[in-house]
Amino acid sequence: MNRQDELRRQALKKLQEFEVLMRSGHFDYDNGFHGRVYLNPHQLFRYPSTIWRLAQDLLDMLPADLLAKTEVVAGPATGGALLAHTLAGLLDGRRALTHPPCSFAPFTQSGTGFILRDFYAQQMDGRRVLIADDVRNTGKTFEVCADLVRRAGGTVLATAEICDRMEAIAESGAPNYALVEYRAPENYPAAECPMCAAGEPITSF
């Protein structure tokens, strides 16, 4: 087993230990579907040391030349922004003191989408950006954020996340890297859920 495979194995174990990845339940996703797996990324941020360790491992999954080129790490509020801020600080910790510091930018939720406030948009112009999020589901958030970076004059080097659910249907136009890849079992429309039909109660936590 190589180092990256070992990092993935240990990270998946941590996600389960901290109940970020909850399996073997009957979960209502509040979007009309039920399933056996629930991914709660906000559990990551209860303890700063947990996200710090996982962010270190995520950096180890990224190519060295990509890290060397990164000037801005940006992420969507809330979880992605917290991860991006952590990554930016850890990345500077790996660089020489003479290296220009890496900056951070959050994408702010507004209505039904994300925006990049003028202050941060100005920081993107002409700069190379890594976009980070806690989880990639459909990939739509990365697609929207990448478009905001490009409209601000920045270059999207890559997207990165703690956990990729392997269900992406939207593309950011840049390479994607994940610390953990986990394909969830099949989800069911609530009206057709076999667990409901069997009388299995919804899992509460």
Q: Residue 22 contacts by C-beta under 8 Å, 6 or more apart in sequence?
A: 16, 37, 38, 39, 40, 203, 205
Looking at residue 31, what is its pLDDT? 66
Parse the chain into domains and list their residue ranges. Answer: 3-197
The structure's pTM equals 0.85
| 1 band by pLDDT with thresholds 50, 70 and 90 | low
- Residue 137, Cα to own-chain centre: how many angstroms? 9
Looking at residue 12, what is its pLDDT? 84
Whether 124 shows a pLDDT value over 80: the answer reads: yes
CATH 3.40.50.2020 fits 3-197, yes or no: yes
HEC assignment per residue over the chain: CCHHHHHHHHHHHHHHHCCCEECCCCEECCCCEEECCEECHHHHHHCHHHHHHHHHHHHHHCCHHHHHHCCEEEEECCHHHHHHHHHHHHHHHCCCCCCCCCEEEEEEEECCEEECCHHHHHHHCCCEEEEEEEEECCCHHHHHHHHHHHHCCCEEEEEEEEEECCCCCCCCCCCEEEEEECCCCCCEEHHHCHHHHCCCCCCCC
Residue range 55-65: mean pLDDT, rounded: 95
**8 A C-beta contact, residue 165 and residue 137:** yes
| 112 band by pLDDT with thresholds 50, 70 and 90 | confident
| 65 band by pLDDT with thresholds 50, 70 and 90 | very high
Residue range 122-150: mean pLDDT, rounded: 93
